[in-house]
Amino acid sequence: QYDRVQSFTQLGAELDAQEAMLSSTANRIFYLSVPPNIFTNCAQGVSNGASSKTGWSRVIVEKPFGRDTESSRKLSNELMECLTEDQIYRIDHYLAKELVDNLTVLRFSNLIFEPLWNRNHIRNVQIIFSEDFGTEGRGGYFDNYGIIRDIMQNHLLQVLAILCMEPPVSLDAEHIRDEKVKVLQSMKPITMDDTVIGQYKKDRTGKLPSYLDDDTVPKGSLCPTFAAVALHIKNARWDGVPFLMKAGKALEKREAQIRVQFRHVPGNLYQSKLGTDLEGVTNELVIRIQPDEAMYLRLNNKVPGLGMRIDRTKLDLSYHQEYGEESMSAGAYERLILDVMQGDKRMFIRSDELDAAWELFTPLLHHLDEAKAQPELYPYGSRGPIGAHYLASKYGVRWGDAQE
């Protein structure tokens, strides 16, 4: 049993017996894919009864890491009473997605990007996550957390931190995580004025269910299944650039992408050929995390032939075409577990990083709960609430995925 030290002592004794037949040092990894209310019990059991006697012991902790700043700090403190920070691996599988893992390579090993990676050249950044299915029987779990805690505060915010951090001193895990923490600490807490929440209802035909039709969801639940927020980084590199983030369930399609939209060309010589829709001719770097991993750069280009006609085209790198299916076969969890074996913590979350992330979202989450904020309803299979488009227009931009 998870809450009995005796159970872990028995486990430790069994492992000792197996390891006695080995001539080499025995190391142990414990993966706590368990309900968060027994994280501490398991960690105490590992520490007191099942740790390796000859090598190291490491503990992988699955999200959710609390529900807000206070509960997250409480969990961290309890874990630190029986484990060291070096032993704790807070896993977020999104950090091991191939295109997320590539962000530092893209930024710091290609000369063309880093000089442009600032407020002088980038107009806005969008991080988008959507699923084309609802809770489908998982509503009991989901309703306790909602889309902001489930997706935004961890997966998407981690992507943003890597995308926006300063160049680290080295590729050492602590140097990378130091820079991520600085980004998070430079951000202002999210306000209701920069937030839109939604909940899916039946589709327009009435065939696909609403969130409240899920038998595991409490009646009358106000839990958001969609959220869009605007974030702001107050530092010399990013001051004034809006970072738009949205995530939702039961939307039109399944995808996750980063869209870096560059500023309009000042005094563009080809303005008369481009028309009045400046959004349609803005240079844009798109990083498609899933599905069909790819990167492409949107450019304006002359259409071959007589006369001068300009078209928007893209330089496209499809990972499956370039590297083949086999190279993409390794899953995110496989990579992360291998990193745990090797002691590489680059893609794991440190306690101060987790604390900074919760401080951004906790005021908003408490306000939504206390005010019993009504989510805007949107049809199953749609692009989400209309309010998300108003939020983008507040900053003079459009959601890039709506234009494809």
One-letter amino acid for residue 286 of the chain: V
The whole-number pLDDT of residue 329 equals 66
One-letter amino acid for residue 275 of the chain: G
As a whole-number percent, the residues of the chain with pLDDT over 70 amount to: 95
The whole-number pLDDT of residue 260 equals 96
Q: Is the pLDDT of residue 73 over 80?
A: yes
Residue scoring higher pLDDT (22 or 9): 9
The whole-number pLDDT of residue 304 equals 84
Residue scoring higher pLDDT (271 or 221): 221
Q: Is the pLDDT of residue 30 over 60?
A: yes
Q: What is the mean pLDDT of residues 363-383?
A: 94
The whole-number pLDDT of residue 385 equals 95
pLDDT confidence tier of residue 64, bands split at 50, 70 and 90: confident
User: How many CB atoms lie under 10 A from the CB of residue 140?
Assistant: 13
Average pLDDT, the chain: 89
The whole-number pLDDT of residue 196 equals 97
User: Which of 35-39, 202-206, 308-312, 368-372 has the weakest average pLDDT?
Assistant: 308-312
The whole-number pLDDT of residue 139 equals 81
pLDDT confidence tier of residue 33, bands split at 50, 70 and 90: confident
| CA distance to 80, 120, 143, 288, per residue, from 400 (Å) | 43, 20, 29, 12
Residue scoring higher pLDDT (77 or 4): 77
**CA–CA distance, 5 with 395 (Å, rounded to integer):** 55
Q: From the candidates 155, 232, 320, 366, give the one annotated as an active-site residue.
A: 155
Q: Is the pLDDT of residue 156 over 80?
A: yes
**CA–CA distance, 308 with 305 (Å, rounded to integer):** 8
Q: Is the pLDDT of residue 207 over 60?
A: yes
Q: Is the pLDDT of residue 57 over 80?
A: yes
- Tell me the pLDDT tens digit for each residue of 159-189: 999 999 999 999 999 999 999 999 999 999 9
**CA–CA distance, 112 with 35 (Å, rounded to integer):** 45
- Tell me the pLDDT tens digit for each residue of 292-345: 889 999 888 787 888 777 777 888 888 888 887 776 667 888 889 999 999 999
Q: Is the pLDDT of residue 276 over 60?
A: no
- Global pTM value: 0.91
The whole-number pLDDT of residue 74 equals 92
Contacts of 159 (CB under 8 A, 6+ apart): 94, 100, 103, 127, 258, 289
| CA distance to 150, 170, 201, 222, 384, per residue, from 377 (Å) | 19, 47, 6, 10, 8
Q: Is 155 considered catalytic here?
A: yes
The whole-number pLDDT of residue 274 equals 62
Contact 376, 198 (CB under 8 A): yes
- Tell me the pLDDT tens digit for each residue of 79-95: 999 999 999 999 888 88
Q: Is the pLDDT of residue 29 over 70?
A: yes
